[in-house]
Structure 1
Amino acid sequence: MKPRALHGPALCLLFCLLFQSGLSQTVVKSLPGLPGDLPFYLETGYVGVGELDDVQLFYYFVESERSPRDDPLVLWLTGGPGCSALSGLIYEIGPFTFNYEKSSRFRPALKLNDYSWTKVANIIFLDQPVGTGFSYANSWESYNMNDNISVAESYEFLRKWLKLHPQFLSNPLYIAGDSYSGVTVPMVSLEVDKGNEAGLEPKMNLKGYVLGNPLTNYNSDLNSRVPFAHLKGLISNELYESAKTDCNGKYLNVNESNGDCVDDIKAVNLCLENINTGSILEPKCVTQARKSTVSDRWDPTLINRDRSPLLLPTQRAPRVWCRNYNYLYSYIWASDRAVQDALHIREGTIEEWVRCNKTLSYTSNVLVVIDIHKELIKRGFRALIYSGDHDMVIPYVGTQASIDTLNLTISTDWHAWFVDGQVAGYATLYSSFPSLLTFATVKGAGHTAPEYKPEECFALISRWFDYFYI
């Protein structure tokens, strides 16, 4: 007898039961572009959050290659907001990346990353908030996001994920991320600890948090671009001193009536308009003919700048290598149906994959997280904050200024840290018993640091996870 097909409510009930039982989690054995079976454990899946699990958050989970049972468990939140977890995984800290020498425009090739953080940690790479990467919602209302909703859904995801993976409950837990996630990572960390206090299950073994090139205080972070530009020799002493005096040290949202300050900011912008803010050492990508960008105020765009990698340089511009062109491969690879099948992406749930979704309906309603850092420190958590010292998107001087407002005791003052006998950056260790906060710069790195200096950042995180001196 032929089985009767399921329709309507019966089919919906079946899917709900499958999702609730954790059967949407799948082990990935191989990936297009990487020969042979994967030499590491990769799991992908969806976890429903929000009302009636309307939001389906997609994740990649990679077990530690060292000791999955003992090594830390890390929830990694890529910035944006709206930048895919795959971007953090493949360009920053994950176990594989693109092999540019063997890739063609239509067939990207992969290779293993010798400096993957998964060599020393179990990492969940989460596509958050909804509308990012492969995460989706069943109703349009659920796409309306802000910082608080995003944090609540990330926390709910983590609780449900750990219920499905109870073997990791005893592992030291760290919440981590970079760029815009400098806002959400501390907030999620605090939610985890408050949930533990309230007796919510499962109880999590939270030990601390990690932030790279983080947004901490929107106005002061962006304001720090002017003193950073002066420190790096991009604007003259005379212009900097004039702007500092005329603008009273405040370079954002300049009052039009302050003509001297307006003129100074125009001159500053003229000096910086052809500088790559992600890394002042690298070429700026020119994708189309444009008018002068000189204006009297900073451009209040998203923190992660990602010009479309599908546009080639114009004929007016020389054909120079630009880092943004590397991102083209992620669009080609992640949009390939064979890749999506390998990752077990639910067909028809997203229109197209983009590295950083700038069309999100997202309201940034938390602009300063200093008080959250203070609360986490009071609760006794460890923290690592690192910055590329050539990043002008969120300059290290702004991050350092934010840390200064925490009024912590300096245990070990500014000092060099080394990789292979060479200076890899500088660090300061702060204490407020029982908390310890480490701030480190990564020499020569941009936004964000692991993409530019993978070996140095791997050494940094390995030492920090193992409680070694930096």
Structure 2
Amino acid sequence: MLHLLLLLLLLFSNVGRSRSAVVKSLPGFSGDLPFKLETGYVGVGELQEVQLFYYFIESERSPKDDPLLLWLTGGPGCSALSGLLFEIGPLQFDYSDSSENRPVLKLNPYSWTKIANIIFLDAPVGTGFSYATAWRAYNSSDTSSATQTYEFLRKWLMSHPRFLTNPLYITGDSYSGVVVPIIVKEVYDGNEAGREPPMNLKGYVLGNPVTCEVKDISQRIPFGHKTALISDELYESTKKDCNGDYVNVDPTNGACLTDLEMVSKRLEKIYLAQILEPICNFMSPNHTRLKWSRSILEENIINVVSMPLQSRPWCRNYNYLYSYIWANDRNVQEALHIREGTKPEWDRCNESLSYTKDVLNSVVYHRYLSKTSLRALIYSGDHDMAIPYVGTLDWIRSLNLTLLGMWSPWFVGGQVAGYSTLYVVGMKYDLTYTTIKGGGHTAPEYKPKECFAMVDRWFSYYPL
């Protein structure tokens, strides 16, 4: 009982004000970090019961001039550390030099921090190292999480006023495609209402974004047909029998159910995140089930760690195990200044969130933002079957924007890196949509060089 009281006192003593610390070195990386890393907590919500944890990395080029990005990883419930280590951050695991008990870090030559200041945020509450001091505060939703993230950003900028004039972009991928447009609207409306501090909001960036889960998942069937995974005959039969709706199926529609069962059999051995890669199911070292995104990329359980190395198939998912080993190391948590006792265990994607999906389709927010003077970049890995590009193109076209730039290839190193198109509204709002050739879910993990070139050009207002 005494131990519990001491723990509660510790938690509440840490809630009073936001705290941050500079991290100069990290276990697994040799020498001092060649970039500025700050970590910390910002209290939001009633009585600051929600403590959101962040990693802030200054631009390695020009911190005072380069854009400021707020980055949210999907899920909901996937840690920002996943985006940092596996996608766009300055560090990544050196798989050739790492062992199961000794993860080694190296520099990412295509880190977006080479051209931007980035706040990687663990949101919603319960994600990564973010926590709450009261059980009721763990209940969150799309809208409440967006509100808390907006509050976080206001408080963070007030404590980091030198970044108030930097161009601000709200960014993220996967399920954050639902939440990011809500946050952008809150920031925009807050500026219009004169809320402090004023933010230099310029736009938003979304990768492989969930927009409407039902429609996004339904688009897997047209995508499977386009990529020759589903035959012409089966596709036409399924489209006819199911009336184009492959998720909300009438249980009395036997023909549709039969077609969908046949479709499932054709796709059950396909890795949804990148259809060209092997499907590899695994367990984490502590035998908890791993998923990239709840209801989007589910894995079956096979204990890969116990399999002999020579008989183990190459598996991209196996790379994620290093993050569990590294982030749950006490020395790592001390280096990151994690508050002791606030989280029993770090999860790359927390499946136990008390989370309500109360925004079933975020297109309404894009439609609202299209009436502003903001800019948007939306990109899709063209081999992502989890959130297929065909569905993303569908909702973008539903905005009825003016097509300015035709579907055209763009290049990196003299090779086609993807295909892009540009939409505008008058001389104000513009939306660039692009595919990343060979990219999966999510694209920067599969095509880091191409994605870096994409954002470098876009932030600089250059054509892709």
Q: How does 1:54-453 map onto structure 2 within 5 Å? A: 54-287=49-282, 301-305=294-298, 311-312=304-305, 319-433=312-426, 434-453=428-447
| 1-structure distance, mates of 2:242, 2:125 | 39
SS at match of 1:437: strand
Distance 1:8 1:423 in 2: 56
Paired residue secondary structure (2:26): coil
Distance 1:403 1:113, change over 3 A: same
Change (3 A) 1:62 1:447: same
Query: 1:108–1:287: structure 2 CA closer, same or farther, 3 Å change rule?
Result: closer
1:247 to partner: Cα distance: 1.0
User: What is the CA-CA distance between 1:407 and the residue it aligns to?
Assistant: 0.3
Give, in whole Å, the separation in 2 of the partners of 1:286 and 1:447. Answer: 16
With the length of structure 1 as denominator, give the TM-score of the two structures: 0.92
Q: Could you tell me which of 17, 42, 54 is aligned with 1:47?
A: 42
SS in 2 for 1:199: coil
Segment drifting more, 301-310 vs 167-176? 301-310
- Please tell me the root mean square deviation across aligned C-alpha atoms, in Å: 2.0
Q: Measure how far apart 1:354 and its partner are.
A: 0.6
Q: Which amino acid aligns with 2:119?
A: I
- Rounded Cα–Cα distance in structure 1 between residues aligned with 2:214 and 2:54: 32
**Aligned residue runs from structure 1 range 29-44, under 5 A:** 29-44=24-39
The 8 Å contact of residues 309 and 327 in structure 1, kept in 2 or not, is answered as no
Deviation at 1:379, TM superposition (A): 1.2
Q: Distance in 1 between matches of 2:197 and 2:207?
A: 28
Once residues 450 and 13 of structure 1 are traced to their aligned partners in structure 2, the CA distance between those partners, rounded to angstroms, is 38
Q: Which shows bigger deviation, 322-331 or 212-221?
A: 212-221
Percent identity, aligned pairs only, is: 62
Provide closer, same or farther for how the CA distance between residues 162 and 441 of structure 1 changes in structure 2, counting only shifts above 3 A: same
Q: CA deviation at 1:253?
A: 2.2
1:176 CA drift (Å): 0.3
Query: How far apart, in 2, do the equivalents of 1:193 and 1:245 lie?
Result: 43
Q: Distance in 1 between matches of 2:303 and 2:38?
A: 30
Letter in 2 for 1:250: D
Assess if the C-alpha contact under 8 Å between 1:286 and 1:313 holds in 2: no
State the secondary structure of the residue aligned to 2:420.
strand
Contact map agreement 2:275 2:384 (CA 8 A) in 1: yes
- Alpha-carbon spacing, 1:318–1:245, altered in 2? closer, same or farther (3 Å): farther
Q: Secondary structure at the match of 2:370?
A: helix
1:56–1:8 Cα change, 3 Å: closer
Structure 1: 5+ residue stretches without partners: 1-6, 289-299
1:147 to 1:323, Cα distance in 2 relative to 1, 3 A: same
State the Cα deviation string for residues 33-65 of structure 1 (Å, max 9, x = none): 110110000000000001111110000000000
Q: Which amino acid aligns with 1:89?
A: L
Q: Distance in 2 between matches of 1:119 and 1:443?
A: 23
2-structure distance, mates of 1:385, 1:239: 31
How many pairs align? 448
| Counterparts of 1:310 and 1:260, CA distance in 2 | 38
2:187, 2:199 within 8 Å by CA — same for their partners in 1?
A: yes
Match of 1:401, SS?
A: helix
Letter in 2 for 1:169: L
The secondary structure found in structure 2 opposite 1:378 is: coil
Q: What is the one-letter code of the residue matched to 1:426?
A: Y
Change (3 A) 1:309 1:407: farther
Amino acid in the other structure paired with 2:173: D
> Is the Cα contact below 8 Å between 1:34 and 1:109 reproduced in 2?
yes
* Amino acid across the alignment from 1:188: I
Q: Which moved more, 1:163-172 or 1:217-226?
A: 217-226
Q: Deviations over 1:403-431 (max 9, x none)?
A: 01000111011000100000001001111
Detail structure 1 runs of 4+ shifted over 2 Å in the superposition: 7-16, 300-315
